[in-house]
Amino acid sequence: MDISTIITSRVCGIPSSDVVILEGHTSEVFTCAWSPAGSLLASGSADATARIWTVVDWTSRSSLQNGSSKVLVLKHVKGKKNEKSNDVTTVDWNGEGTLLATGSYDGQARIWSSDGKLKSTLSKHKGPIFALKWNKKEDYLLTGSSDKTAIVWDVEAKECKQKFEFHSGPILDVDWRNNVSFATSSTDNMIYICEVGETHPIKTFSGHQNEVNCVKWDPTGSLLASCSDDCTAKIWSMNQDNYVHNLREHAKEIYTIRWSPSGPDTNNPNQKLLLASASFDSTVKLWDIELGRLICSLNGHRAAVYTIDFSPNGEYLASGSLDKSLNIWSVKEGKIVKTYNRNGGIFEACWNKEGDKIAACFADNTVCAIDFRM
């Protein structure tokens, strides 16, 4: 396997002329997200800042060397610098790309305008925020914290709309199903489906034997995928209490999952809906959701895979690993088509809306924007 990996990387290494390296963070960069509105890229770091980078189009290497990116620094600490409690753990843009939400180790969610101004600070959590998401309507922000609670915030009123206290352990992930209902997952092995206005979960999914790292609704909001330290991913339906499929091919903890942007009611209706899972066993696996079976295992990394993201057309999958490499796979062929290496492990990678750029954030304090055109 190592030999074939080396040969592949020789063939399809991404040239440095196709990469913009964004420097300025002074500690590891945990999270990044492209604005849906264009060339803005947000990043969050252990240095107590988030940053909004303007990544202009690059056509030649010479234009790169003239410093082709502008940056806004969003400070998450007043006074004392480098306080560990101010790591920026998660970022999310609203659908219009006008507002950026950030979640921090200090337990506060903050909302910023795209020009870097702090609009509101949302304080009610008593521990680090690990996950945060806008709903599609953009009137609510959802946060999940190590204090075992999830909070829905009324963005306009800048206040807590409702606090959900069902978990007995830290909340690791949250995901909206629609504008008013959502899923939460926790170290307590449980998944709850909650709805604004309801005082109890509208559904409880129990079946994982260890902490549930990630939950994601499929594009139609009818199926929920989850993954866990119990080495399984599971598919759940609102129509039944037990899981629909139990996906058990990984040898170690599964850190994250992603649905393909395909199937009915998506931009790629003629492509089959797939699920991808990324694991500490250094593999990414693609699953057939109808049959609940493994389609193929993507074996090209040499360490834990922390992040995966499908391209908007569903044809490619980006994966980033602690082996310091970003691989871009052809979903159809199950092969690496491009690869890029740096000096640090990769915590997150994401495609822009147009599908021609990929961002990745690294443990070496950098963020990279990669031009991707096949």
User: For 72, which DSSP code?
Assistant: E
**Is the separation of the CB atoms in 349 and 309 below 8 Å?**
yes
pLDDT for position 60: 44
pLDDT for position 8: 42
How far is 120 from 77, CA to CA, in rounded Å? 14
CA distances to 21, 46, 104, 223, 274 from 87, in Å: 21, 4, 6, 33, 33
How far is 82 from 63, CA to CA, in rounded Å? 34
How far is 301 from 351, CA to CA, in rounded Å? 20
Tokens of 342: 């740096």
pLDDT for position 59: 52
Q: Where are the domains of the chain?
A: 2-371
Could you give the angle at the alpha carbon of 336 between the alpha carbons of 358 and 281, nearest 5°?
Answer: 95
pLDDT for position 84: 60
How far is 361 from 119, CA to CA, in rounded Å? 25
Identity at 166, one-letter amino acid code: F
The most distant pair of C-alpha atoms in the chain lies apart, rounded to whole Å, by 59
pLDDT for position 9: 41
Could you tell me which of 164, 176, 171, 162 has the C-alpha nearest to residue 191?
171
Q: Which fold has domain 2-371?
A: Methylamine Dehydrogenase; Chain H (2.130.10)
pLDDT for position 248: 97
Paired sense of beta strands 357-362 and 367-371, if any: antiparallel
Per-residue pLDDT of the chain (374 residues; tens, 9 = 90+): 343 444 444 448 999 899 999 999 999 999 999 999 989 999 999 999 999 999 986 554 433 444 456 899 999 986 555 556 789 999 999 999 999 999 999 999 999 999 999 999 999 999 999 999 999 999 999 999 999 999 999 999 999 999 999 999 999 999 999 999 999 999 999 999 999 999 999 999 999 999 999 999 999 999 999 999 999 999 999 999 999 999 999 999 999 999 999 998 899 999 999 999 999 999 999 999 999 999 999 999 999 999 999 999 999 999 999 999 999 999 999 999 999 999 999 999 999 999 999 999 999 999 999 999 87
- DSSP of 101-150: EEEETTSEEEEEETTS-EEEEEE--SS-EEEEEE-TTSSEEEEEETTS-E
Could you tell me which of 373, 374, 323, 370 has the C-alpha nearest to residue 349?
370
Buried b (16+ CB within 10 A) or exposed e, 312-328: bbbbbbbbbbbbbbbbb
Could you tell me which of 63, 78, 76 has the C-alpha nearest to residue 25?
76
